[in-house]
Amino acid sequence: MLTEVKNPAVETAETTSKPMTMIQALRSALDVVMARDPDVVVFGQDVGYFGGVFRVTEGLQAKYGKTRCFDAPISEGGIVGVAVGMGAYGLRPVAEIQFADYFYPASDQLVSEAARLRYRSAGDFTCPITVRMPCGGGIYGGQTHSQSPEALFTHVSGLRTVLPSNPYDAKGLLIAAIECNDPVIFLEPKRLYNGPFDGHHDRPVVPWSKHALGMVPEGYYRVPLESAAVFRPGSQLTVLTYGTMTWVAECAARETGIDAEIIDLRSIWPLDLDTIVASVKKTGRCVIVHEATKTSGFGAELSALVQEHCFYQLEAPIERVTGWDTPYPHAQEWAYFPGPDRVGAAFQRAMEKS
């Protein structure tokens, strides 16, 4: 399956590839852009000397110095606020929020400032910042180490929200995000940091080195924003998903034997509508899968878009498989996380209805 993955319009230079985890791929992206552009600075809680609680920034301070990669006080509002000021000066800051669950104190700076600076000043000032946040569940993270807050960002005009599902895309998308002159929320599914995860928590974890998408070019390349990937081509139904759920959906397709076409959105908003519409028009059925809670989640927007653009081709109601409308629990992790059984059941329903 993996050799069939299409990465349309990948911009790449001649470079050798090697196996990388998502952590290594993200670190490589930071390394590559820091080497290319002296205006890129990396900071956040524990990202400097220690190299980040997930090791994403390991070695960067030693290589680029304390003024390019440094520790920040525990203040999300401050981290994003100073990033906005640095961006206005002309730097290209990459700020880290340790967990997506902790971005809330920075909401005002993200929504009222970063997202609107270009608009309100009519382009007089811009905000070329990237805010990295580990997100998602499936790791017994409980309520405040598991959330998927993407819908809180996609609702904000002026922000771009990006969420990779594998090391190759993670590096290419992060480079594209940093080089983008718009503010980008870069969500990293921490469940995928060390290997893909299909929801079978009772099976041993497979490392990225066993997957083609774990082969990552060492040098510079970009995966363009606003471009989805057909993660698994199929003919019977379309799955719209991103992050960890890409792998869960692929597993559900295998286990149900349903020939699902899995679209990995990669850029959640603004998104690649053409790829979505072309697929649903072809299959006539659509299942949307995300970890985030259901009500007013991003799946609702996807469902509305598909309904609007593919109404006459739809042969069954659009299905949504998501987290429940509850805070993320600890002990009941696997009853909460939308695993391959729940996703597969939705595939079956979509196939049965007409």
Partner 1 sequence: MREHPALRLHVPEPTGRPGCATDFSFLQISGAGTVRKPPVDTSHFETADLAYALIGVLDRDGQAVGPWAPQIDGTQLRRGLRAMMKTRIFDARMTIAQRQRKTSFYMQCLGEEAIAVAQGMALAKGDMHFPTYRQQGLLLSRDDVSMVELICQLMSNEADPMKGRQLPVMYSFKRADFFSISGNLATQYPQAVGWAMASAIKGDTRIASAWIGDGATAESDFHTALTFAHVYRAPVILNVVNNQWAISSFQAIAGGESTTFAARGVGCGIASLRVDGNDFLAVYAASQWAAERARSNQGPTLIEWVTYRAGAHSTSDDPSKYRPADDWERFPLGDPIERLKAHLIVLGIWSEQEHGQVHKELEAEVAAAQKEAEGHGSLLDGHIPSAATIFEDVYETMPEHLRRQRQELGV
Residue ranges that bind partner 1, judged by CB under 8 A: 41, 67-68, 72-73, 75, 77-78, 81-91, 93, 105, 108-109, 112-113, 116-126, 157-158, 160, 180-182, 226, 270, 273
- The CB-of-117 to partner 1 minimum distance in angstroms stands at 6
Q: Measured from the CB atom, is 87 or 344 closer to partner 1?
A: 87
Pick between residue 62 and residue 335 the one whose CB is nearest to partner 1. Answer: 62
Gap between the Cα atoms of 48 and 70, Å rounded: 4
211 a catalytic residue: no
Beta carbon of residue 253, minimum distance to partner 1 (angstroms, whole number): 29
Shortest Å, Cβ 301 to partner 1: 10
- Tell the smallest beta-carbon distance from residue 176 to partner 1 (Å): 13
Nearer to partner 1, 6 or 120 (CB): 120
Which entry of 145, 200, 201, 290 is annotated as an active-site residue?
Answer: 145
Residue 101 or 182 having the CB closest to partner 1: 182
What is the separation, in whole angstroms, between the first and last Cα of the chain? 29
Minimum distance between the CB of residue 92 and partner 1, rounded to whole angstroms?
A: 10
Would you say 182 or 198 has its CB closer to partner 1?
182
- Active-site positions read 145
